[in-house]
Structure 1
Amino acid sequence: MTTTTMAGAPVAPPVAKPWYKVLYVQVLIAIVLGAILGWLWPQVATNEWIKALGDGFIKLIKMVIAPIIFCTVVSGIAHIQDAKKVGRIGVKALVYFEVVSTFALVIGLIVGNLVRPGSGFGNAAANEAAVASYAKQAAGQRSVDFVLHIIPDTVVGAFAQGEILQVLLFAVLFGFALMSLGERGHTIRSFIDDAAHAVFGVISIVMRAAPIGAFGAMAYTIGKFGTGAILNLVGLIATFYVTAALFVFVVLGLIARTAGFSIFKFLAYIKDELLIVLGTSSSESALPSLMEKLERLGCSKSVVGLVVPTGYSFNLDGTNIYMTLATLFIAQALGVDLSFGQQLTILVVTMLTSKGASGITGAGFITLAATLAVVDPRLVPGMAIVLGIDKFMSECRALTNLCGNGVACVIVAWWEGELDRDKLNANLAKQIDPTDMETAITTD
């Protein structure tokens, strides 16, 4: 099958990357090899150097947490000034994002507490030395101390010590200050955006070591906790997928029905974008084509131009569900009981740390590290438990984020009275769109 343009010029098919160079395949192979090593030779798998492979990768991830959180939060807030150009649309979009994101977080917490996928993991064999050091650090801290600790002594100190809440506080203040500068802050905003791209570039380099980290983490996990740990990890994956499906088909489905369209027909309409995301594990890879399709669906250009890009920073439903479930799983696996107040902290912290996490593969794991450090430092060593399976959940995170942002755009357009109902019905009914015929012709 070949593809030609309307002018008749042949379009060369994309060169497929060799299977052994695909990160997804490399991580899968590493996980399998790590599980085999931990199962057959547990003494070798629990060697400190094998454990260091997973720990080293986690340290690389933690290395970039503070700068990426700062850049994404500042950039997201500073660019809200674009929302002022379209007045009510920006406000409605942000209100919708926060309400629906809260639903996603609450659903994740409810399911995590009911199913308890981390129970019975074997917390007695946890890294007691690491947990004890964090427990000593957190012991005796009063509520007033916690609040005062959010305020850094110096901005540089917050970054140097990796204090995420302190970095978040400064990022929020800096973002609003930059937003108030208006056009005068353009240079700084551009610098922050470029810096964010550079840090994401660092993360992309770090992610190349993911197979090595996954191998070490999985080998040590199976060797230390036994093959029974596999059942808990598979249970976490299954719980996450079921919870995400529940959110998409029930919560988003009800929201879509309120606006007069079917979530099933909408998902069928964006199936190509869903497949792109499935292959790349990043919802950002489908951003251009999603925006084009939403315009063809009947959403006004101004709504699409504002809601979709903003949603990629402020409306990460899949990431929110993952944060709550993974945090509860690690706490249950390590035998750490989280109080009601700490679980409320997950809601507040995740609402901030998840911003900007849809950009690249593995970013959800980075925000998990930030969330764990704030909720309870004793949970940070437990990141090694979920490292080996993070790739499986990355797919679902990105897919859920994409669905959430697509529905959000249609809802805001309908709310603002800028949705062409005739176009919406025609496209969801799978009627031929002439613009598709102008793009390419496919022949056998």
Structure 2
Amino acid sequence: MSHPQAAPKKGMGLTTQIFIGLILGVIFGYAFPKYAVELKPVGDMFIRMIKMIVVPLVFSSLVMGIAGTGDFKKLGRLGAKTILWFEIATTLALIVGLVVVNVFQPGVGVNVTGGDASVAAAAANKSIDMTQMLVNIVPTNIVDAMGRGDMLQIILFSTFFGVAAAAMGAKGRPAVDMCISVAEIMFKFTWYVMKLAPIGVFALIAFTVGKFGLGMLIPLGKLIGSLYFALIAFVFLVLFSASFVIRVNFFHLLRALKEPILIAFSTASSEAALPIAMEKLEKFGVPKHIITFVLPTGYTFNLDGSTLYSALAVVFIAQVYGVPFDISQQILMVLTLMLSTKGIAAVPGASLIVIAGTAAAFGLPVEGIGIILGVDRILDMARTACNLIGNCVAAVVVARWEKELPDDVLQVAYAQSYED
């Protein structure tokens, strides 16, 4: 009589290692701030290693996915559904941010001294020209666009390249095969780099705590608490509800995405979590051509956490300075942010620029940004994680809408999420 073989013991999972790195980073940064600050280059190297994966991975997998459909009509339908969902999600994010900031009033009673006026002024002097932004979607030089990591330009070029390769038939096949090979290599590359994630996360968190200290959290604790509450409320009110409507178990999806969520939170970098999020979504059963279109586009048009933060921060500044900001002005501000928060992800410090521009447009003191700067890293971690979850839910929503994620595939994905 043969006995069933015992399953081999699994070592400590990557998620657990990253989480331990996060906790140890906080302790080290607090206990040895002088040495913790010196760890910044280690964290920066980890972020740069992941960023070097993003462009070849997005280009190759997008061409592979599009050449697989080779159909402009299908692509147009996919794009329309994606943009519609993005608009619904970001509008609801703005509303949640507005409700929370009015209920909790985190700016009331904050000491207005200590604002960094020079940074605030620099942010106010920058503005986002919507017409120019639309023109800039079209690259003049794709190598330059890839060098700068301009995701929208890369998406546009890859889309045309994929459709043209599919239209060429047998002649285009070698290029498509090469892209398939490159995509597979980049996923393996990601796996190697992710082995270093616990060290990278430890260094980044230790640097943040060492440089700014935990003491900075106390005076602005109400702002931090309000944003974290608003983001959690958005995730459960909007993203959980959307998952319920399309009959996808939201908690299974979160379980499948636990590693990219931890990476996004601890590095405060959307790009850092993108390769592993793409891999996890594919394991979850979302077709590759949907993932490669929705996720990179979402990092430009669907920054739910950053959008929510923009609405909350503008009203926070009004509250700090005691400037009357009635509900009609706030609704007008939401309409402004619905446009100004689109397509600004490639701009460094984009949230800061949007908040400064919106505050200036409504006659609010732009110096208020200086107050937020001290805790911006802590706020950025949460909104980046929310951006990631929002984009992954968007990919699942579009896949279900397109009837390309059937129930039987989901059942297998649920089983795998427990094994991982």
- Do they superpose with TM above 0.5? yes
1:164 equivalent among 116, 127, 130: 127
Equivalent residue, structure 1, for 2:382: 396
Distance 2:388 2:339 in 1: 19
**1:196 to partner: Cα distance:** 5.7
**1:245 to partner: Cα distance:** 0.7
**Letter aligned with residue 259 of structure 1:** I
**1:421 to partner: Cα distance:** 2.1
Aligned CA distance change for structure 1 residues 88 and 241 (closer, same or farther; 3 Å): same
**Letter aligned with residue 77 of structure 2:** R
Aligned CA distance change for structure 1 residues 394 and 360 (closer, same or farther; 3 Å): farther
CA-based RMSD: 4.5
Equivalent residue, structure 2, for 1:421: 407
Structure 1, residues 176-212: CA drift from partner, whole Å, max 9, x if none? 7x4xxxxxxx5345545544669xxxxxxxx9xx979
Equivalent residue, structure 1, for 2:186: none
Distance 1:413 1:110 in 2: 31
Aligned CA distance change for structure 1 residues 244 and 215 (closer, same or farther; 3 Å): closer
2:140 equivalent among 171, 182, 187: 187
Structure 1 residue matching 2:75: 3-state secondary structure: coil
Distance 1:100 1:367 in 2: 18
**Letter aligned with residue 86 of structure 1:** L
Structure 1, residues 46-74: CA drift from partner, whole Å, max 9, x if none? xxxxxxxxxxxxxxxxxxxxxxxxxxxxx
Aligned CA distance change for structure 1 residues 320 and 161 (closer, same or farther; 3 Å): closer
**1:402 to partner: Cα distance:** 0.9
**1:368 to partner: Cα distance:** 3.1
Aligned CA distance change for structure 1 residues 126 and 385 (closer, same or farther; 3 Å): closer
Equivalent residue, structure 1, for 2:183: none
Distance 1:98 1:412 in 2: 13
Structure 2 residue matching 1:86: 3-state secondary structure: helix
Distance 2:225 2:369 in 1: 18
Distance 2:27 2:143 in 1: 32
Equivalent residue, structure 2, for 1:88: 77
Q: TM-score by structure 2 length?
A: 0.62
Equivalent residue, structure 2, for 1:241: 228
Equivalent residue, structure 2, for 1:318: 305
Correspondences of 1:255-334 after superposition (within 5 Å): 255-334=242-321
Aligned CA distance change for structure 1 residues 419 and 239 (closer, same or farther; 3 Å): same
Structure 1 residue matching 2:367: 3-state secondary structure: helix
Aligned CA distance change for structure 1 residues 296 and 373 (closer, same or farther; 3 Å): same
**Letter aligned with residue 343 of structure 1:** Q
**Letter aligned with residue 263 of structure 2:** I
Distance 1:359 1:171 in 2: 11
**1:110 to partner: Cα distance:** 1.2
Distance 1:88 1:320 in 2: 25
Identity of aligned residues (%): 34
Q: Is the 8 A contact 1:294 1:406 kept in 2?
A: yes
Distance 2:376 2:32 in 1: 14
Structure 2 residue matching 1:120: 3-state secondary structure: coil
Equivalent residue, structure 2, for 1:412: 398
Q: Is the 8 A contact 1:319 1:357 kept in 2?
A: no
**1:428 to partner: Cα distance:** 1.9
Structure 1, residues 348-373: CA drift from partner, whole Å, max 9, x if none? 34334434566799654444334434
Distance 2:133 2:348 in 1: 23
Could you list the runs of 5+ residues in structure 2 that have no partner in the other structure?
A: 1-8, 12-16, 34-61, 152-203
**Letter aligned with residue 315 of structure 2:** L
Q: Is the 8 A contact 2:123 2:352 kept in 1?
A: no
**Letter aligned with residue 296 of structure 1:** K
Structure 2 residue matching 1:335: 3-state secondary structure: coil
Structure 1, residues 315-351: CA drift from partner, whole Å, max 9, x if none? 1111111111111111110122224454234323433
Q: Is the 8 A contact 2:256 2:417 kept in 1?
A: no
Correspondences of 1:2-21 after superposition (within 5 Å): none
Distance 2:239 2:311 in 1: 19
Distance 2:96 2:390 in 1: 15
Distance 2:281 2:133 in 1: 32
Q: Is the 8 A contact 1:101 1:351 kept in 2?
A: yes
The answer to whether structure 1 residue 347 and structure 2 residue 334 are counterparts is yes
The answer to whether structure 1 residue 97 and structure 2 residue 86 are counterparts is yes
Number of residue pairs aligned between Structure 1 and Structure 2:
317
Structure 1, residues 384-406: CA drift from partner, whole Å, max 9, x if none? 11111111111110111111111
Distance 2:335 2:105 in 1: 21
Q: Is the 8 A contact 1:101 1:316 kept in 2?
A: yes
User: After the TM superposition, which segments of 4 or more aligned residues of structure 1 sit over 6 Å from their partners?
Assistant: 22-30
